[in-house]
Every structure is written in structure tokens, then in C-alpha cells.
């Protein structure tokens, strides 16, 4: 099954931001495009807005004047659904209400031919449920674009329970012909991206609700240590707190209130107060004129130790040994078994977080980094009774490496590590349940939400047992089940244990 021929008309129903973006993608690809909106005059306004964006593409040398003129000639607004009768594909981008979408597609089915591909751009509703009332449900698919559709490359091609494989293949090939990067997935709550991405928000909110760190500090650690493009709080402010919470709540309800997807009370209160983020002027941050954005908590300068003793293998943090040597701090290696650690001159130890609480006045945990050389900030976590000299020495060591240091509360798994571990876990669970393949999951998370690595790429880098072990330890301290490793992750880690001859 091949992509739709470029001579085939494509219709977009719903002319908001997403609808206009999808229409622009199909138009620039070369299709005749028809816009329809139930509100009188909206389709014409949308056509004018798309025309203006085509003008800007010409100004940026991304289209020629002739290409713009040809595209404008292919774009029309429809006064009724009847004008879509000869379309080969209709993509819906209307309000996220099941009854509205079902009613629309029933009406479309009375107009278009039985060979017309029908697609919903829903991000949170069941594709199966939307298409369930259709006379020919096999030609119904999900085509989930990401906003802004002309710029973001990812499209999730979602097969509902009744979708014919040929219809899904045609939708996939059409999206690819439009210059997009499609991934295939089954109809499951949140599809791939909105399912696997939930921990990015949830863990940041959990650390905040535990009063271990403020939003500005958590965001800075996720960006500057974890390598994420934006922190969770600034990203939800950009998305809209109401939109982000609605998706979280929808996924949670669709999974029968699975504790792994539990919404945040702190976010609920923010929405109830009307602080929806950038669009309302206030969210986690204040965007009103003259408002100052708070900075992250950053420790004051401290003296670096003259030497450190490195015992055992530091695992994902092994790169630190070379970095410490490079800045002139003597490294005295010692053999050791078990998890590696850095011992400071006063006898205190510095360990990469493993999901345990530091729990001792002689231990400081440091967070995971995407790249310890490139990271510009590191989070340290210690018990309230930690010796001040130990915390100062740990701070001074990382400052000597050129890092800002944020000291956060005594929280298991600190910030980046617990976030990455939970993302890995949900990715393994999704693949085990047939939602998508590992490569598609990695592609979706890199392109859909700009993660620095896909979950399976993270897993290969960190080791096959790392996420299971860290989450198991967090679960011991937070036994709600939210951080308990999935069966899929347990199986994967147990297989790795067996290969290495390690008891699981």
C-alpha cells in the first residue's frame, strides 16, 4: 500500500492551530486541500492565515514564489461537509470530546466514498472509541501530529481495534511522503509519547511536593544535568497547565486509575487558581510585565578536596574519575566490590544515587547526568544530619569540575535519575504490551518531546539492571506502587543478571 497520490484532495476539519498546521503540511507536500469548520467564516480565516504563513516561508527562502502561488491555488475553504465528497483523506482536528468527534465522523461517512481514509488527530481519546460507531471502521486511523505541525517531524500513526492494516500502512506512507517521521503504535491511552512522557512531569512534581526542591531548581537540574531541552515546570507552563493536567488525568482514568499515572494535587491547585502558564500570565513562573523569574538554588563557593579515593566502579559516573584528575585533584584508586564511591579526605563518601536515601551523616548522593563532562549543574542530596564539612567538600569537588551545585532535600533517586528510570520502565512496559517497537519508542520520544536520548538508548548507556535496581530502592521508601518496576523491566533485568551470573 502506497501513499496517497498528490492529485488526491485532502480535507482538514477543524481550523484551529493544529488543523491549520496539518493543512499546511498537506498543502506544501502538493495536495489540493479543503478546509472546513462548523463555525461560519472560520475556514476562510484559516485559509488566509495559512496563506500568510506561506508568504513568510518565501521570505525565509523555504518556498519559491511560484511554489507559494501554486499552493494557494490548491487551498480552498468548504462551506459544508458535502464539499468534501471526493476527498481521499479527511483529518479531524476538532475539540477533544468523544461525542463531538463521533458525530462528525458519522456525518462524514454519509458524504465521502467508502475508500476515503478517515483520521483523527486526537491526543488523548481512544481511536477505537472514536471510530467505533462507523459503518466502515476499518478505514479509520489515528494521525497524531505534534504542535506546531509544520515544524515538528513526528506523527503517531495509531491503529484502532478495527483498523485495517492496509489503512494504517497508507496513512503511514502518506505521512512519510509529507516529509514527516511516522511511528506506528497500537491504540492505548496516551499512545507512545503521552504515555511514556508522564514521568517527566510526575517525578518533578513529586520532588516538589516532597519539598525537596523548588521548581526553578528542578528545572535547572533537568536541563543542565539531564540534558533535557526544558524543565518540567517551564514546559508545562508553555503547554498550558490545564492541557497538561487534562492529558495526565485522561491517561490515568483510561488506565483505570493506575497509580503509575496518578495526577498531581499541586498541579490541580494551580489549575484551580487559574494559573495556567504563559497563556494566563502566571503558572509555576510569573510571565507578567516586569516580573522576575526566580533562579535555581545554587550553593556558594566551597574549597575542593586535595585528593579523593575512588573505590570500585562508578558505573554511569565513571567519567568523573578522568575529570577529577584533569582539574588537578589527586585520585587514589582502590579496589572495591559493590557500587563504586568517592571517598573524601575526611572519610565521608560521595555516591551516585541508587534510589536509596543517603541516610547517614557520612554520605552524600549526587544525581545522574547525561554527560558529566558537558553538564553544567549537579544536584547533591544528603540527610538533614549530614556533616557540614562533608557537604562542603562534595560541593567544592563538583565546583572544581566547573559545575554549579544545587543541594536538594533528602529524596531517593534525586531528580534526573528517578525521572530517567521511570521513563525507561514505562517504555519497556509499552513495548511488552505491544504498543510499539523499541526503535519507534526511541524515535517518538526524541522527536515528539525532544528528549536527549530515547528510553532504550538510555538503558543501553546505563546498563540493563540500572533502572530496575534504582526503582526497586525508591519503591522501598515510597511503597505506593508508583515507582515499582514493571514486570517487563524485571524480566529484562533478570535476563541480564542471568547472562552475568548474578542472582536476581
Q: Is 280 a catalytic residue?
A: no
Per-residue 3-state assignment (H helix, E strand, C coil) for 149-195 = CCCCCEEEEEECCCCCHHHHHHHHHHHHHCCCEEEEEECCCCCCHHH
Show the CA angle centred on residue 119, arms to residues 114 and 122, nearest 5°.
150
- Contact between 438 and 431 (Cβ < 8 Å): yes
Strands of the sheet containing 117-120, edge to edge, are: 75-77, 33-36, 10-13, 89-92, 117-120, 140-145, 154-159, 181-186
Catalytic, out of 31, 109, 121, 123: 123
Of 501, 489, 302, give the one whose Cα is nearest residue 407. 302
Strands 10-13 and 89-92: parallel
d(CA 488, CA 483): 14
Q: Residue 90: what are its φ and ψ, rounded to 5°?
A: -125, 125
| Active-site choice (31, 124, 126, 144) | 144
Sole residue written with cell 511514556: 196
123 carries an active-site annotation: yes
Is residue 144 part of the annotated active site? The answer reads yes
Q: Determine which one of 194, 264, 381, 486 is catalytic.
A: 194
Give yes or no: 96 in active site.
no
Q: How far is CA 95 from CA 19, 101, 180, in A?
A: 11, 8, 24
* Neighbouring-strand partners of residue 156: 144, 183
Separation between Cα atoms, residue 122 and residue 99, nearest integer Å: 13
Length of the chain: 504
Among the listed residues 109, 156, 311, 356, the single catalytic one is: 156
H or E element that contains 309: strand 307-313
Reported in sequence order, the residue ranges of 23-153 that DSSP labels E, i.e. its strands, are 33-36, 75-77, 89-92, 117-120, 140-145
CB atoms within 10 A of CB 480: 10
Q: What positions carry a catalytic annotation?
A: 123, 144, 156, 194
Amino acid at each position: 500500500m502506497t501513499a496517497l497520490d498528490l492529485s488526491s484532495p485532502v480535507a482538514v476539519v477543524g481550523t484551529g492551530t493544529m488543523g491549520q498546521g496539518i493543512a499546511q503540511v498537506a498543502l506544501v507536500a502538493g495536495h489540493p486541500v479543503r478546509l472546513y469548520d462548523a463555525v461560519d467564516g472560520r475556514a476562510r480565516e484559516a485559509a488566509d492565515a495559512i496563506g500568510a504563513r506561506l508568504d513568510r516561508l518565501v521570505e525565509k527562502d523555504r518556498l519559491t514564489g511560484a511554489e507559494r502561488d501554486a499552493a494557494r491555488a490548491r487551498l480552498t475553504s468548504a462551506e459544508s461537509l458535502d464539499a468534501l465528497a471526493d476527498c481521499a483523506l479527511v483529518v479531524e482536528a476538532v475539540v477533544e470530546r468523544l461525542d463531538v468527534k463521533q458525530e462528525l465522523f458519522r456525518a462524514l461517512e454519509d458524504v465521502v466514498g467508502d475508500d476515503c481514509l478517515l483520521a483523527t488527530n486526537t491526543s488523548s481519546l481512544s481511536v477505537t472509541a472514536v471510530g467505533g460507531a462507523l459503518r466502515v471502521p476499518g478505514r479509520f486511523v489515528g494521525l497524531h501530529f505534534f504542535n506546531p505541525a509544520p515544524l515538528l517531524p513526528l506523527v503517531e500513526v495509531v491503529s484502532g481495534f478495527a483498523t485495517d492494516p492496509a489503512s494504517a500502512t497508507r496513512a503511514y506512507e502518506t505521512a512519510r511522503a509529507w516529509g514527516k517521521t511516522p511511528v506506528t503504535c497500537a491504540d492505548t491511552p496516551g499512545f507512545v509519547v503521552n504515555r511514556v512522557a508522564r514521568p517527566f512531569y510526575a517525578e518533578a512534581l513529586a520532588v516538589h511536593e516532597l519539598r525537596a526542591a523548588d521548581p526553578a531548581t528542578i528545572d535547572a537540574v533537568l536541563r543542565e544535568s539531564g540534558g533535557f531541552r526544558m524543565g518540567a515546570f517551564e514546559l508545562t507552563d508553555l503547554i498550558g497547565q490545564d492541557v497538561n493536567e487534562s492529558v495526565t488525568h485522561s491517561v490515568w482514568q483510561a488506565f483505570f486509575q493506575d497509580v503509575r499515572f496518578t495526577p498531581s494535587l499541586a498541579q490541580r491547585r494551580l489549575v484551580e487558581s487559574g494559573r495556567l502558564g504563559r497563556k494566563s500570565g502566571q503558572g509555576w513562573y510569573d510571565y507578567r510585565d516586569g516580573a522576575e523569574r526566580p533562579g535555581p538554588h545554587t550553593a556558594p563557593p566551597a574549597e575542593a578536596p586535595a585528593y579523593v579515593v575512588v573505590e570500585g566502579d562508578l558505573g554511569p559516573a565513571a567519567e568523573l574519575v578522568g575529570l577529577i584528575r584533569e582539574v588537578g585533584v589527586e585520585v587514589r584508586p582502590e579496589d572495591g566490590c559493590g557500587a563504586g564511591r568517592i571517598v573524601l579526605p575526611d572519610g565521608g563518601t560521595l555516591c551516585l544515587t541508587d534510589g536509596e536515601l543517603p541516610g547517614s551523616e557520612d554520605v552524600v548522593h549526587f544525581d545522574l547526568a547525561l554527560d558529566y563532562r558537558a553538564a553544567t549543574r549537579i544536584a547533591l542530596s544528603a540527610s538533614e544530619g549530614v556533616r557540614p564539612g562533608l557537604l562542603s567538600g562534595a560541593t567544592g569537588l563538583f565546583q572544581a569540575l566547573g559545575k554549579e551545585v544545587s543541594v536538594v532535600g533528602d529524596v531517593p533517586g534525586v531528580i534526573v535519575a528517578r525521572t530517567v528510570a521511570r521513563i525507561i520502565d514505562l517504555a519497556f512496559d509499552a513495548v511488552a504490551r505491544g504498543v510499539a517497537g523499541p526503535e519507534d519508542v526511541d524515535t517518538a520520544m526524541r522527536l515528539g518531546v525532544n528528549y536527549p536520548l530515547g528510553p532504550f538508548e538510555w538503558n543501553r548507556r546505563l546498563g540493563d539492571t540500572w533502572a530496575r535496581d534504582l526503582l526497586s530502592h525508591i519503591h522501598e521508601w515510597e511503597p505506593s506502587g508508583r515507582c515499582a518496576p514493571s514486570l517487563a523491566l524485571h524480566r529484562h533485568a533478570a535476563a541480564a543478571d542471568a547472562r552475568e551470573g548474578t542472582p536476581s
